[in-house]
Amino acid sequence: MRTLHLTLFILATAWANQLQAQKTVSFTGAARSAVNNNTFNTQDSIPDTSTVMRNTTGYALIDLGVNIRPNKHTEILGMFRIRNQYGGFWGAGVGFDVRQLWLKGIVANAVRYQLGDLNLKQTPFTLYNHHADRPDSMPDVFLLQQRIVDYERFYSRNTWRQQGLQADFGLSFAKLVKEVDFNGYLTRLRASNLADIPDRLMGGVTVDVLQSKHLALSWNGFSVFDVRGTAADTNRMDNRVQTFGLTYAGNIAGGQLLIKGESGTSKLAFSNAAGLTSLQDYFIYVSGKLLFPTKHLSLEAGYMNIGPDFRSIGAQSKDINYQNSGGLFNRYANGNSLRAPALLELMGNEQVYQTSVSSSLMPAAQEFNAVLPYGTATFNRLGGFAGLRYAHPSGFSVDLKHHQLREIRGQGTLSLKAFQQTKAHFLLDIAKLSGTRKGKKLRFGIERQSVNRSSNIAFETVDFNRWRLSAGAEVEVFKKIDLLFGMVQQQSKGADFIPDRDEYSRVSFLNRTSYQNKQQLLAGGIRCRFEGNTYFTAFYQQQVNKKPSEGTPDYQIRQFSLIYNMNF
């Protein structure tokens, strides 16, 4: 396969070089070089004598895309990745891969289509990558790592990477309705093994009706299903979601009003699941936003009711796989403790992130998101939320948001859990405030999540709290040279019941789990912005994790990284 990739690459490059002169071919892509020096420390009553305490990793890669426009209505992109592992001399540790391949075009100047690799999202309840566990308003020193993760995993504005076909067209009207847009896609999540695993497809259709500049309506259909007859007919899955959406934008005294709402139903069924017919439920989500542009203020309030059996594979897949340690110090304490992803992994280890949706409900991590682990599509949540944003052009902004939710159906009990989530983020753009030319930004954030359940039975009570503090600074000390600092500290305390789920996402057991976890991630470094979309950064970060879980010892990871990144 590597030989095929290489041959294709050489042929494409040679051909593309020739065509470039005709302006029908251009090159695009990215290149990156990274070296990470990692050190691990742990304190345990038994000295750890078997864990690899230091390692150095890195790579250099080029993604070279050949962008071909054979005519003005067609475009083809083929992208190769050449990756050179750190330490590989004279051709050792080299990999060749096809990173992207797609064709897009317009038929009859009316219907657009794309075939091959697709970055897709639909609505927050059908197909949407919520990035639910990512801290909000991150300092640049973490943000630049997140952007690498986004690039590696093809995350682009809450999209999921899929392979298939997508098409859209629209109708414009002279009266009553301005525009009706049709958009559909069909992708494959899994190929048949020609034995007992059938092909699994994912498809969706959206019809947007733009009635006027004030009102838009939509209908969304989403489905993941196994194709009958592509394997021995064992246990076919079918997940269907249908939703209606509404957007209203209008003016009120001194401001603007924006109302968004979506409501729909879902059904998850298996053709041959023992004891399970299907899971069906509905959801309602409405938010209203008041914008006062002259006062630089916006206010938001909303209501959500997401049924306990609402299942949407496209919207409830998590970007982080907590069962993957990410390859960095996976085991410690003489191999007895598995290290779960921590803040360090969340910020910048693409190995724990996944590219596509998962057909089964992925486990959540209580310490990172106990309230809305699947974003707004989190099932079994009822309540409201309110928010405020003030962004003064002089360089000060504040974002406040609060969720007050509860369960709709008790888990293993009739008592219901109550959820609270409060977030406050502040940004000070000192350059703007002081009128200087060099950029200086300070960020502060504070978040609190709590889960409570009171009961006459002591064992049923739940009392879990998580605090997260974040702070960061970006200071341009010389032209295009920035000092970067960042800190995230979070503390999880209390106890909750964490469900074990079967392959149909039903709770099979509830584990009472206690938390005394403290995590801190500190980072500082320097970034030099080169010409073009290119930068070099050197930074040091330190992860401290105390009481990661019951019975696992504390640890500390120190990481020094050098990254040179270019996009073209």
Q: Give, as ranges, the residues between 195 and 234 that touch another protein (CB under 8 A).
A: 206, 208, 210, 213-214, 216, 218, 220
Name which of residues 88 to 127 contact another protein (CB under 8 A). Answer: 88-94, 104-106, 108-114, 118-123, 127
Quote the CA–CA distance of 100 and 65 in Å, as a whole number: 8
What's at 352, amino acid-wise? Answer: V
Q: Which is nearer to another protein, 27 or 303 (CB)?
A: 27
Quote the CA–CA distance of 487 and 468 in Å, as a whole number: 10
CB of 350 to another protein, least distance (A): 17
User: Which one among 19, 44, 74, 503 touches another protein, defined by CB under 8 A?
Assistant: 74
CB of 203 to another protein, least distance (A): 12
Would you count residue 263 as binding another protein (CB under 8 A)?
no
Q: Which residues pair with 32 in a beta bridge?
A: 61, 565
Quote the CA–CA distance of 56 and 86 in Å, as a whole number: 8
Contact between 277 and 304 under an 8 Å Cβ cutoff? The reply is no
Q: Which is nearer to another protein, 185 or 379 (CB)?
A: 185
**By three-state DSSP, how is residue 20 classified?**
helix
Would you count residue 514 as binding another protein (CB under 8 A)?
no
Each residue 420-459 as x (binds another protein by CB under 8 A) or -, in order, gives: ----------------------------------------
Q: Which is nearer to another protein, 427 or 566 (CB)?
A: 566
User: Which one among 245, 314, 375, 472 touches another protein, defined by CB under 8 A?
Assistant: 245
Would you count residue 180 as binding another protein (CB under 8 A)?
yes
Name which of residues 34 to 63 contact another protein (CB under 8 A). Answer: 35, 37, 49-50, 52-58, 60-62
Q: Which is nearer to another protein, 6 or 197 (CB)?
A: 6
User: Which one among 169, 292, 467, 540 touches another protein, defined by CB under 8 A?
Assistant: 169
Would you count residue 275 as binding another protein (CB under 8 A)?
no
Q: Which is nearer to another protein, 57 or 235 (CB)?
A: 57
For the chain, the 3-state helix, strand and coil shares in percent, each to the nearest 5, are: 10, 55, 35
Take residue 368 and report the two structure tokens written for it.
């990172």
**By three-state DSSP, how is residue 436 classified?**
coil
Q: Which is nearer to another protein, 327 or 412 (CB)?
A: 327
Would you count residue 33 as binding another protein (CB under 8 A)?
yes
Which span (6-14, 230-238, 309-317, 465-473) binds another protein, by CB under 8 A?
Answer: 6-14
**532 conformational bin, left if phi > 0, alpha if psi -120 to 50, beta if neither:** left
User: Which one among 157, 274, 393, 437 touches another protein, defined by CB under 8 A?
Assistant: 157
Q: Which is nearer to another protein, 29 or 383 (CB)?
A: 29
Q: What is the rounded (10 degree) CA torsion for 96, 100, 103, 106?
A: -150
CB of 181 to another protein, least distance (A): 5
Look at the chain and count its residues: 568
User: Which one among 253, 478, 511, 551 touches another protein, defined by CB under 8 A?
Assistant: 478
Which residues contact residue 115 at a Cβ distance below 8 angstroms, ignoring those fewer than 6 apart?
102, 103, 104, 164, 165, 166
Quote the CA–CA distance of 558 and 501 in Å, as a whole number: 35
Quote the CA–CA distance of 566 and 568 in Å, as a whole number: 7
H or E element that contains 412 = none
CB of 294 to another protein, least distance (A): 20
Closest CA to 141 of 561, 555, 469, 427: 561
Q: Which is nearer to another protein, 11 or 507 (CB)?
A: 11
Q: Which residues pair with 188 in a beta bridge?
A: 201
Report DSSP state, residue 3: H
Q: Which is nearer to another protein, 119 or 235 (CB)?
A: 119
